[in-house]
Chain A
């Protein structure tokens, strides 16, 4: 709030190749101020209104919620919170109609409005500058702020991970698409809030400049910005670009206002720029300073089928039908209802779908206003599409490769850089639906990429499994071989043992014992023949003693221990034999001696 008037500089504007000049149709809806839609009876809040992971509900069916209360929490990473746009009761969490071309239903929370509009506790920060930057960024995330220009990228992500220094905050006030005037009216009425939001973002980035890119068909908005900047003392630079579609695309606006092209597969932060829509910046102000989360947005309702065209402040979750009825749309006259503009919007399959954070326009067009597409003629290779492309691509080559499904060729011609603005299809004399073809090809490329990853994983799994089975087979084979070898070895040893080698007998105690016994027997027989009669007599005495002992033991056993009777009797029989044999030998030896002596 300085006293000195600030001069608002006008910056140089560069050239954007291609582009078209369709009829603007802005006058239908930008004459009246923004009007609030009265409270509807139910609100349906889809869990995924933004780019990234869907939010997870943190309330249950039956819970009462206050206005601005958190009802679905952002997952970590790229995701956004969802808040209750008004107070009421959660009556269901189920699949509900969703505004998407496919017509798929999406999980959503149903809020029964109680009409009290009871706010939750709010904690405004008048002195946001005194807070830490990380706290402010977290506050933006807490407010569920996402890009309101149409993409829905969670805003706080742009202020984290600053891998490159940012020198310019570019405010996207271009609004190049025909029929849409939401940003125009917002600037005219709330330029101060937008600029305060821009100030916060500039502070978060440490950027040098705030640059506003705005088309020259919005003179009132330009003066609103200038007045607000003077009053607030915020230094801005205005870049007034000539009205051309699609100068409002992020990369196109950067090229127009700064003369640099964002590199392929790159982000604006790679060239030191962060681009934000005016609606997003106003919401940043509301979240950070006033502690109001993102619960409503400005939506243009227009088209010849609408009796009261204009801009409306709509609570997120209001059904599109309700909004159209409030604007007195004759739904029977409307051939189709388009969400978005006539160039980049899509026809809604179900108008009971709710308004989400990125619904910038509802176009209820009559058949005469937007005629149904006529069948296309063959391409005459005129080259007008190439002249109209703002990204300097070759739509004709992309068409041929799309028709023939030559995905590699399409990728070579940079189909991934196509922003799907529709300028080429607009100028085509054969009325070929070029963007349709490009979307199909991009989808096929995405699918092919996914398939490649999956088949790569499957191949690795399969190869590992084959290797494991092979390895197990090998191990089994080795074990079997080892067993066979051991068995063969044992067999070989047994064979060599029966030849009498004592070294073999070392291993087998039984064999050794048998050998000892055999050896002893051998020794005995030889000893007996060479012994003298005296020695023999000793042996006889010994044998007799052993025999008598055995007899005694047998008598004892008969009396005391009958179980060992059998063994003892056997033993005594054997000893008796031995004694008799010894005696016989002795006698024989005596006879021999007598014979030899006599």
Chain B
């Protein structure tokens, strides 16, 4: 039980996927202008990450590894991730057309979110079992959502402020991300991961 909690803390804070491992920066910068839409995006990414983490683990351990097809894992994982993302897109389109419209291209771009593929591949390299895979994927998603929500709240205020013209938009966003990243460095060493 303890290891699972530590695994979660490690993934959410210590090795935060966005701020420490610098994966998944594209949706992070692109969607964080308004808080409600950022929450919608993080919910979608959480769903995709968790489900694909488990699904890829299952496919790898039940189909690819026994058949000696471990070299196919990259392409198979991408296939599965694309499938999950497409499914999520359909659900969002049905339940909230406004969110669908606002997220725009970033929703299918979750497929290319390196955090998602990264989680799947890291699960294999770390030799996680099923529960650990699930927690790893879930923890990565929670870490991503935490930072995305925090950052979009900050972004809302930055957008209203007197930013010099050369810095307006993603530029000031990246600078702010760098500073938060420095702050998150304070967590390093908290959990031996």
Q: Is B160 a contact of A404 with CB atoms below 8 Å?
A: yes
Whole-angstrom CA separation of A448 from B86 in the bound complex = 39
- Interface residue? A14 (CB, 8 A): no
B157 part of interface (Cβ distance < 8 Å): yes
Q: Is the CB of B160 within 8 A of A409?
A: yes
For A403, the closest partner residue in chain B by CB is B160
Q: Is A406 interfacial (CB 8 A cutoff)?
A: yes
Cα separation A400 to B160 with both chains bound (whole Å) = 6
Nearest-neighbour CB distance to chain B for A97, whole angstroms, equals 40
Which residues 389-445 of A sit at the B interface, judged by CB distance below 8 A? 397, 400-401, 403-404, 406, 409
Query: Bound state CA distance, A401 and B161, in angstroms?
Result: 9
A77 within 8 A of B: no
Q: Does A409 contact B162, Cβ atoms closer than 8 Å? A: no
Give chain B interface residues in 6-36, CB to chain A under 8 Å: none
Would you give the shortest CB distance from A511 to chain B, in whole angstroms? 66
Complex: A286 Cα to B122 Cα, angstroms: 85
CB-defined interface of B128-161 with A at 8 Å, one 1/0 digit per residue? 0000000000000000000000000000110011
| Chain A neighbourhood of B162, CB < 8 A | 378
- Write out the residue numbers on chain B whose beta carbons fall within 8 Å of the beta carbon of A378: 162
A400 CA to B157 CA, complexed, in Å: 8
A428: min CB distance to chain B, Å: 16
| Contact count band on B | under 10
A contacts with B: majority SS: helix
A43 to B149, CA, bound (A): 62
Q: How far is the CA of A186 from the CA of B156 in the complex (A)?
A: 51
Distance in angstroms between the alpha carbons of A378 and B161 in the assembled complex? 11
- For residue A406, which residues in chain B have a CB less than 8 angstroms away from its CB? 160
Return A396 CB to nearest CB of chain B, in Å. 10
User: B160 — which chain A residues lie within 8 A by C-beta?
Assistant: 400-401, 403-404, 406, 409
| CB-nearest residue of chain B to A378 | B162
Residue from B157, B160, B161, B162 with most neighbouring chain A CB atoms (10 Å): B160
What is the CA–CA distance of A400 and B163 in the complex, to the nearest angstrom?
Answer: 12
Contacts of A403 on B, CB cut-off 8 Å?
160
Give complex CA distance A397, B156 in Å. 11
List chain A residues, Cβ under 8 A from B157: 397, 400
B47 to chain A, nearest CB (A): 27
Q: With a CB–CB cut-off of 8 A, which chain B residues contact A401? A: 160
Query: What residues of A have a CB within 8 angstroms of the CB of B161 in the complex?
Result: 400
- Within the assembled complex, what's the spacing in Å between the Cα atoms of A358 and B138? 63
Closest beta carbon of chain B to A459's beta carbon, Å? 19
Q: Which residue of A lies closest to B161 (CB)?
A: A400
Q: Which residues of B contact A404 (CB under 8 A)?
A: 160
B154-184, CB under 8 A of A: which get 1 and which 0? 0011001110000000000000000000000
> A415 → chain B, closest Cβ, in Å?
14
**How long is the Cα–Cα vector from A406 to B35 in the complex, in angstroms?**
14
CB under 8 Å from chain B, chain A span 92-133: none
Closest CB-CB distance, B164 to chain A, in whole Å? 12
Contacts of A397 in B (CB 8 A): 157
For the complex, give the distance between the alpha carbons of A397 and B157 in Å: 8
Q: How far is the CB of B161 from chain A (nearest CB, A)?
A: 6
> How far apart are B39's CB and chain A's nearest CB, in angstroms?
14
Taken together as a complex, chains A and B put the C-alpha atoms of A406 and B156 apart, in Å, by 11
CB distance from B168 to the nearest CB of A (A): 13
CB-CB nearest in chain B for A379 = B162
Note all chain A residues with C-beta closer than 8 A to B156: 409
A566 to B171, CA, bound (A): 115
Query: Which B residues are in CB contact (< 8 Å) with A400?
Result: 157, 160-161
Min CB gap A379→B, angstroms: 8
Within B98-143, the residues touching A (CB, 8 Å) are none
Proximity bits, B39-73, A CB within 8 Å = 1, else 0:
00000000000000000000000000000000000
- Complex CA gap A400/B161 in Å reads 7
Task: Output the least CB separation between A443 and chain B (Å).
Answer: 20
Q: How far is the CA of A401 from the CA of B156 in the complex (A)?
A: 10
Closest B residue to A399 by beta carbon equals: B160
Bound-state CA distance A397–B158 (Å) is: 11
Chain A, residue nearest B156 (CB): A409
Closest Cβ–Cβ distance, residue A24 to chain B (whole Å): 37
Cα distance A409–B34 in the bound complex, in angstroms: 11
Report the bound CA distance from A504 to B116 in whole Å.
82
Identity of the chain B residue whose Cβ is nearest the Cβ of A401 in the assembled complex:
B160
Complex Cα distance A403/B157, Å? Answer: 12
* Assembly CA distance A406 to B157 (angstroms): 11
Nearest B residue to A406, CB-CB: B160
Chain A minimum-CB-distance residue to B162: A378
Question: What separation, in Å, do the CA atoms of A441 and B157 have in the docked complex?
Answer: 18
A404 to B160, CA, bound (A): 7
A441 to chain B, nearest CB (A): 13
Measured in the bound complex, the distance between the Cα atoms of B142 and A534 in whole Å is 124
Closest to B159 in A: A404
Chain B residue with Cβ nearest A381: B161
CA distance A406 to B160 in the complex (A): 9
Bound Cα distance from A312 to B176, whole angstroms: 61
Q: In this complex, which of A400, A401, A404 has the most chain B Cβ atoms within 10 angstroms of its Cβ? A: A400
Contacts beyond the supplied A400-B160, A401-B160: 9 A-B pairs with Cβ under 8 Å:
A378-B162, A397-B157, A400-B157, A400-B161, A403-B160, A404-B160, A406-B160, A409-B156, A409-B160
Can you name 11 A-B residue pairings with CB atoms under 8 Å? A378-B162, A397-B157, A400-B157, A400-B160, A400-B161, A401-B160, A403-B160, A404-B160, A406-B160, A409-B156, A409-B160
Interface residues of A (CB under 8 A from B): 378, 397, 400-401, 403-404, 406, 409
> B residues touching A (Cβ–Cβ < 8 Å)?
156-157, 160-162
Across the A-B interface, give the 9 residue pairs with the lowest CB-CB distance, nearest first. Answer: A400-B160, A404-B160, A401-B160, A400-B161, A378-B162, A406-B160, A400-B157, A409-B156, A403-B160
